[in-house]
A and B are shown apart, each in its own frame.
Chain A
């Protein structure tokens, strides 16, 4: 464990880091100093540069400018392996455990126990020792034969943390560790973090939940637009203040929102429910209107959007599209009713990376271009028009979509539905992983859609973005709509408070 005598010195120090991807700057002069023995919170909105910063520390990215110091020594070429040797360990999501392994096997993979003097695995020993560790740190006892695949997300998370603990870490980096935990488990995690901290382990804690940060950390650094805007002792601040710092007023003017008078109701959702995910969700969406949905992971907002597009089958309630009640849970039926979904996981569901711009653009509207045989010049013309209209930057309509930047890929995903002449657009986190310039173009596009009489529903965790582009915002919490705000009469802080449960700490749990 760490040497407490040197407590207070910087164990991780990043100075004026600049990191560019292509043309876009993900970090533009960010600094972060984590002191030995502290529990340091790192917060910022999506796109503020948190993940880039963490990857720099993990040795997965290299800074273009600036220095990275660990334990007082500057490193030019950090590798994941070297970082671990220096005692810095990362708690990642459950994705890095072998699903067919038992807990003991997963914990000890790579440093297995053997029967002394033989080459054979001591499975009983690994089982005993892992049960011991889990019991000691988490009060958790799992069946001996339990496989990773059979564990809950929280239990997997705990196994991950235990793996790091076995290595005697100096610094533990937690990246959104409670996203998948219920309250009791989250409480256990916090107890553990406090205990580790008392034993001298330094903790860097990244979270969306401001309540947790205030509860747990002694210091917090706020990132905004690739810079650190403040590093404060938590004792001297509050969740609301931190929220205010995260919010970016500077690009507030960049939302080119046209003034559109909403027309008739085209989407009427009444008491929609999906057991275990959301319940009693009702709202109406009009022509020319832009409606915002927001909420944490698991709050039900995303699940509502999936149900509307027919990806999940709701267990109750009604959906009327242009006055007609919809029964089938089938994306094909949804698109026939001129619904469009731009999914969050763009690279998996939104665009086919190894198809060309043209092939992607016309995929949902091929019947417009084919009577038996595809009229390739017609689909090309259509694509060229859309490329021009959406200002998609590409080497040409025959370029593979994987060669485009994230923002331009997103525009292709939208172009696909413009080509289909969709009328109701469901945009799920439309600007995730997109640089500022492309974001603004996507905002402009949303405005343009509304102007042309489309109805747009934007699901986003970026609150300013929602305030900028929408007319109304619905906040989801624990599977239902808890608040509705007119976008022009509210502040980011107010919404953030409702979304994150900052009023009551750890209210998200459940």
Chain B
């Protein structure tokens, strides 16, 4: 087993090395990259929200599926939050309503995937499309729902704009979600069983564990985590824009799978996902600052994802998987 473990080592090294390399590169080339203000902006603008969505995705991938409707959960949460605040409900209650709105999307997926047995890709793709139409219907054909600047309660703005001990609230929330997700996925019974489901579902069933229940719980959890982003996003921009959550989708999938190269066994994992999101964020910010053509950003990001994946899969192939 010497070769595979060497290859694994290489793959893990690849992600950290890529992150270190782009960091060093931009530190040298991009003026202002290393400044505290810029690094903070990377974390708040390029990292925090995507990280939460990507962690939600990590749970889905961990359980052997995928969730294309994470953006829909973000949107539903955002819509419920804004609507409840507009209706004069207390912000805390409205936020809970937002989470519930997101969880509803997960419940729908859970019925499709665990109840009926549709493959997660198709089920969540259907949810994405249906969700888009539902939002159109709710907003008279897709009009944004604004909160009048005067009527916005201070508490509402806190999630997006507030700070505790000088640390922006979105970052604190992200840190809490990351820490919580890490513990749940790596250390709890639920996380272990979800992982086993993703690796070999039939063993889970033959071990006397209730497979549909685990799958259902996973998709509800995914949407609920994604719903957190809906709250922060709405609080930041004080508007709900229909179907805007889908912007996170592809990068969240990319970050999750980049993250799998960080695990010795190629499993989806929270630290790997976080590193993946950081990599994407640093590249985006660094390319912007280095004065290179703004549009090279996406090319660079794509190439990076591509090479990390290529190394990751080549190594898995060497280890006899996939």
Contact = CB atoms under 8 A, between A and B. Distances in A.
A468 interface: no
Nearest to A400: B265
A364 B208 contact: yes
A363 B199 CA distance: 13
B231 interface: no
A367 B196 contact: no
Given A359-B192, A366-B192, A400-B265, A350 B208 contact: no
Nearest to A360: B203
Contact of A350 (B187, B193, B199, B206): B206
A354 interface: yes
B183 A331 contact: no
Contacts of A363: 192-193, 196, 203-204, 207, 209
Interface in B131-170: none
A363 B206 CA distance: 10
B200 interface: yes
B44 to A, nearest CB: 31
Nearest to A354: B199
A364 B196 contact: no
Interface in A16-52: none
Interface string A447-467: 000000000000000000000
A138 to B, nearest CB: 36
A430 to B, nearest CB: 14
Contacts, number: 75
A416 interface: yes
A367 B205 CA distance: 16
Interface in B229-283: 265
Interface of B is mostly: helix
B4 to A, nearest CB: 9
B317 interface: no
B1 interface: yes
B209 A352 contact: no
A362 to B, nearest CB: 8
A352 B206 CA distance: 11
B206 A366 contact: no
B3 to A, nearest CB: 13
Interface in A356-391: 359-360, 363-364, 366-367, 370, 372-374, 376
Given A332-B208, A364-B207, A352 B187 contact: no
Interface residues of A, number: 34
A376 B189 CA distance: 11
Contacts of B199: 352-355
Contacts of A395: 1
Contacts of A370: 188-189
A336 interface: yes
Interface in A415-432: 416, 420
B144 to A, nearest CB: 42
Contacts of B202: 348-349
A374 B205 CA distance: 20
Nearest to B187: A373
Contacts of B206: 311, 331, 341, 343, 349-350
A195 B199 CA distance: 49
Contacts of B188: 370, 372-374
Given A363-B203, A400-B265, A332 B210 contact: yes
Contacts of A400: 265
B203 A350 contact: yes
A183 B205 CA distance: 36
Contacts of A311: 206
B186 to A, nearest CB: 9
22 contacts: A311-B206, A330-B210, A334-B208, A335-B208, A336-B208, A343-B206, A348-B200, A350-B203, A352-B199, A352-B204, A355-B200, A359-B196, A360-B203, A363-B196, A363-B203, A363-B207, A364-B207, A366-B192, A366-B193, A374-B187, A374-B188, A400-B265
Interface of B: 1, 183, 187-189, 192-193, 195-196, 199-200, 202-210, 265, 320-321
Interface of A: 311, 330-332, 334-336, 341, 343, 348-355, 359-360, 363-364, 366-367, 370, 372-374, 376, 395, 400, 402-403, 416, 420
